[in-house]
Amino acid sequence: MRPFTQVIDQLRTAGLRPTRQRLALAKLLFENGPRHVTAEMLRSDAHDASIRVSLATVYNTLHQFTKAGLLREIVVDPTRSYFDTTTTEHGHFFHEDTNLLEDFEGDVKLTNLPAIPEGSKISTVDVIIRLSSKN
Amino acid sequence: MRPFTQVIDQLRTAGLRPTRQRLALAKLLFENGPRHVTAEMLRSDAHDASIRVSLATVYNTLHQFTKAGLLREIVVDPTRSYFDTTTTEHGHFFHEDTNLLEDFEGDVKLTNLPAIPEGSKISTVDVIIRLSSKN
DNA sequence: TTCACTGCAAATGATTTGCAAAGCA
DNA sequence: TGCTTTGCAAATCATTTGCAGTGAA
């Protein structure tokens, strides 16, 4: 679990005021271990916790947190964006039948990596193992 | 390059009639080596080649070809779906500044793969290296 | 003839945007 | 006070869908 004062610091560093909405969403995101959320999931959580936030603000906040380095966007589903509270490099399982996104246990090693095209540098490396039900 | 009669066979096997539109789109897709297309790119190519196809048919065709195993959908961009004419396992470079998708040269080896959750089986493994401009 | 296929236009659904009101420094 | 931030509603945009007309077997 990420220390919460650190979250506030990172907001400050990013020039983001620690508003009621941002703090409440940060708590939902970071207070209970790693999470993978969509905007709709987070809005729903906020609603359940009696936090008044508009969906537009949820979207804004997710993107601001991502830019500030608090979240990482994971592109796995063409219809929805997922945000991961774990920002270090790691792989994902995506359960295609439940739309559930899950972190890997161990860390994957990539060997025989091709040469990076001239003039480009690696931004991130995504490793996604898509799973379907065995039956 | 994929032999074209094979494409027609695969359509037949999938129960898809080789209509004018499907054959024309198949030619655009498979006649000139590996490609990575979005629906809009393919519609634009068709237009340039004076092929009359509606955008809805382009979408239908891309999905039908994917289900028939002629294409592979690559999820890299939250705003657009890409389809790859190479259906064997391989990794991708995604140029974030140009939205260009490119196949890897060599083949990547994944080691230290985690255990697959009980009751699930691997559908596909996606390896995407996101690139940004060095400057 | 029959059923699959196509094209059009409308519907959908996630995300973004404009802008006035409210909040933080 | 002055600049952010929020919330609402409208706008956007890729994609899907309904359905009447067209085409292949």
Give phi and psi for B21, each to the nearest 5.
Answer: -65, -45
**Is the model's pLDDT at A106 over the cut of 70?**
no
B76: chain A residues, CB-CB within 8 Å: 75
**Which fold, A3-84?**
Arc Repressor Mutant, subunit A (1.10.10)
What percent of chain A has a predicted confidence (pLDDT) above 90? 76
Of residues B21 and B106, the one with the higher pLDDT is B21
pTM, two decimal places: 0.93
**Is the model's pLDDT at B2 over the cut of 70?**
no
Round the average pLDDT of chain B to a whole number and report it: 92
Decide: residue A129, CB within 10 A, 0-12 exposed, 13-18 middle, 19+ buried: buried
Q: CB of B98 under 7 A from strand C? A: no
Per-residue confidence (pLDDT) for residue A104, from 0 to 100: 85
Of residues B7 and B20, the one with the higher pLDDT is B20
B131 contacts B95 by C-beta, under 8 angstroms: yes
CA-based torsion, B22, B27, B33, B38: positive or negative: negative
Q: CB of B127 under 7 A from strand D? A: no
Confidence of residue A109 (pLDDT cuts 50, 70, 90): confident
| Mean pLDDT, rounded, for B120-126 | 94
* Of B5, B3, B81, nearest in space to B36 by CA: B81
Confidence of residue A113 (pLDDT cuts 50, 70, 90): confident
**Is the model's pLDDT at A135 over the cut of 80?**
no
The separation, in Å, between residue B12 CA and nucleotide D24 C1' comes to 13
Q: What is the distance between the alpha carbons of residues B85 and B72, in angstroms, rounded to a whole number?
A: 7
Which residues contact residue A1 at a Cβ distance below 8 angstroms, ignoring those fewer than 6 apart? A30, A31, A32, A33
Q: In chain A, where are the structural domains located?
A: 3-84
**Is the model's pLDDT at B15 over the cut of 80?**
yes
A33 CB within 8 Å of a chain B CB: no
Per-residue confidence (pLDDT) for residue A110, from 0 to 100: 81
Confidence of residue B111 (pLDDT cuts 50, 70, 90): confident
Quick check: A125 and B128 CB within 8 A?
Answer: yes
**pLDDT tens-digit map of A39-57:** 999 999 999 999 999 999 9
Which residues contact residue B120 at a Cβ distance below 8 angstroms, ignoring those fewer than 6 apart? A93, A95, A131, A132, A133, A134
| Mean pLDDT, rounded, for B15-31 | 95
Confidence of residue B106 (pLDDT cuts 50, 70, 90): low
**pLDDT tens-digit map of B27-80:** 999 999 899 999 999 999 999 999 999 999 999 999 999 999 999 999 999 999
